[in-house]
Amino acid sequence: MEHNFTEDVKTKSDKKLKEIVIHFDNYQEALISAAENELANRGIELSDEEKRTIEIAKQKMVQETIKKQETDEDWDAFHPKWKQNIVKDENAPQLYSRRVINIFSILFCVLFGGILLAIQLSQVK
């Protein structure tokens, strides 16, 4: 359900509409576009400084998003980076890969937790 903000922004002051447009990261996209349209209908344009502030904030937001995606990829269990840890020595012990350990931890944590709880409850009686 998306709210139509066109009627809401008609009652707001010019200062409040500019604040919504400038601080776009605090508001919904529909409200921002409604505020921009209302400012255009009123014939009010943003100053160059305000436009520059908006552009800088958008660039900063894009850079933060890219940095977050790169960080998230580093922790992904299925990332190709994990394949670089393959050992070719035949005398090395066979261990489970991190991928297998992560998958088993996610799938079976509830089951093993239930077993541990049952053992503990049987010892309490």
> Three-state secondary structure along 81-110?
HHHHHCCCCCCCCCCCCHHHHHHHHHHHHH
Q: What is the pLDDT of residues 50-61, one digit of tens each?
A: 889 989 988 998
d(CA 18, CA 91): 69
pLDDT at 24: 87
pLDDT interval class at 116 (50, 70, 90):
low
d(CA 67, CA 75): 13
**Mean confidence (pLDDT) of the chain:** 79
Residue entry with tokens 């505020």: 35
Q: What is the pLDDT of residues 63-82, one digit of tens each?
A: 998 888 777 666 555 666 65
Q: Is the pLDDT of residue 94 over 70?
A: no
